[in-house]
Amino acid sequence: MAFSERISRLKSSLIREILAAAQRPEVMSFAGGLPAEPMLPTVDWSAMPASVSQYGMSEGEPELRELIAAEARSLGLDCEASQVLVTCGSQQALDLVTKLYVDPGTEILVESPTYLAALQSFQLFGAQCLEVPQEADGPNIAALRQRLENHKPAFAYLIPTFQNPSAVRYSEAKRDAVAALLDEFGVTLVEDEPYRELVFDDYKAAPITSRLKTTGWIYTGTVSKTLLPGLRVGYLICSKELFPHLLRLKQAADLHTNRIGQWQAAQWLGTEKFQRHLAELRSFYRVRRDAMQKALEEHFGELADWNMPQGGLFFWLKLKNPIDTRALMHKALAVDVAFMPGEAFFIDPDSNPGYMRLNFSHVAPERLGEGLRRLAGVVREAQAANS
């Protein structure tokens, strides 16, 4: 069979495979980024007009685009509804960005580690990823400058707010520094912000996009983490010169995003009801974060280091005695525990052993201790066998 050249680079999504394995009800899953089921709001469909049954516009529903643009303006983005493209989740925004920029060999800039499913999309199309090491407060700025001086990446893909997987939130200083560097070198910013609203303290950092002065930008978001993932409604907002290209790529990809999900999302965005829901969500996840922190201290205190996340859905553990945790995945599943090996979030997994991403939103607190106890056992056993 003669497939395209890109198929030789087609990787399975490790996340999706683990999620599939984790569907047995007895499995305690720290693997996915699933919202907690009790916090999925009950939604009302009774007022949905029949008109949304018909074909719609590739751009998305006008009402929803207005709401998304208004929210973005409140974050400091200078934008209009005409710059908003509704997508099938924010994953599709990544697919469109990849199509817009990436030929085999195209250099792009990413954090190290970075989001696995973004890497999957970029690498499928043959991107050469330049890595910038992630520190506790954002990327290493000297390394970023060096990459920009020595290369001309098509774009920089950054997740500045509660990055998946590292949970890092860029400091104000690093946000400003990154924006200034991208402007200086004229590199387009792709800013991915699925976790912005899942914040557990009072600090709200303005997007890097809002700090840019001259360079192009694409800002992506989703209602999957705040409302309902099953709607598959995400979006991108972009600088004006990029919009016509991204719109045509969307047309060719699937004509338009489903309208029923768009209608439902428009019932929530910008409402007091949504603000109340987000407040409840933050309280609920803060409790789970705290329970996880406590259970981790008990079971992983000797095994790993981590920073307590101030938002998002994940803890990011670095083993003190690093071993490749990809080898532990099946052993953990054998004792009904699922987690995400952290190596998969690096361009070169083999050079970065000893990381684990643990989701804290999904497992009920009463099962948390048992799950982490078993997982720690799997780690200890493997380390003992290795030594």
List the interface residues with its own copies, window 212-271 (CB under 8 A): 216, 224, 228-233, 241, 245, 248-249, 251-261, 264
Residues in contact with 251: Cβ distance below 8 Å, sequence separation at least 6, in sequence order? 58
Q: In the complex with its own copies, which residue's Cβ is closer, 2 or 385?
A: 2
Q: According to the binding rule CB under 8 A, does residue 7 interact with its own copies?
A: yes
The span from the CA of 69 to the CA of 60, in Å, is 12
Return phi, psi of residue 89, to 5°: 70, 165
- Which has the closest alpha carbon to 375: 358, 362, 360, 361? 358
23: Cβ–Cβ under 8 A, 6 or more apart, which residues? none
Read off φ and ψ for residue 62, nearest 5 degrees: -55, -45
- How many residues touch its own copies under the rule CB under 8 A: the total is 77
Residues of span 331-370 touching its own copies by CB under 8 A: none
Q: Which is nearer to its own copies, 52 or 143 (CB)?
A: 52
In terms of CB distance, is 5 or 202 closer to its own copies? 5
Considering beta carbons, is residue 170 or 235 the nearer one to its own copies?
235
Restricting to residues 309-328, which ones interact with its own copies according to CB under 8 A?
A: none
d(CA 387, CA 383): 6
1 belongs to the binding site for its own copies (CB under 8 A):
yes
Taking the complex as a whole, how short is the minimal distance between the CB of residue 172 and its own copies, in angstroms? Answer: 29
Nearest CA to 192 out of 134, 129, 117, 101 is that of 117
Does position 291 interact with its own copies (CB under 8 A)? The reply is: no
86 near its own copies, judged by CB under 8 A: no
Selected range binding its own copies among 117-125, 171-179, 323-331, 365-373, rule: CB under 8 A: 117-125
Backbone φ and ψ for 181, nearest 5 degrees, come out as -65, -45
The DSSP symbol for 261 reads: H
Of 29, 91, 166, 352, which one interacts with its own copies (CB under 8 A)?
A: 91
The structure tokens 């999904």 sit at: 362
For residue 382, give the amino acid letter. Answer: A
Instruction: Decide: residue 311, CB within 10 A, 0-12 exposed, 13-18 middle, 19+ buried.
Output: buried
Q: Does 175 bind its own copies (CB under 8 A)?
A: no
Site for its own copies in 118-147 (CB under 8 A): 120-121, 124-125
Contacting its own copies within 19-58 (CB under 8 A): 19-20, 32, 34-35, 37, 40, 42-43, 45-46, 48, 50-58
* Shortest distance in whole angstroms from residue 241 CB to its own copies: 7
**Of 14 and 328, CB closest to its own copies:** 14
Does position 106 interact with its own copies (CB under 8 A)? The reply is: yes
Residue 227 is which amino acid? L
- The contacts of residue 6 (CB under 8 Å, 6+ apart) are 104, 124, 125, 126
Q: Does 301 bind its own copies (CB under 8 A)?
A: no
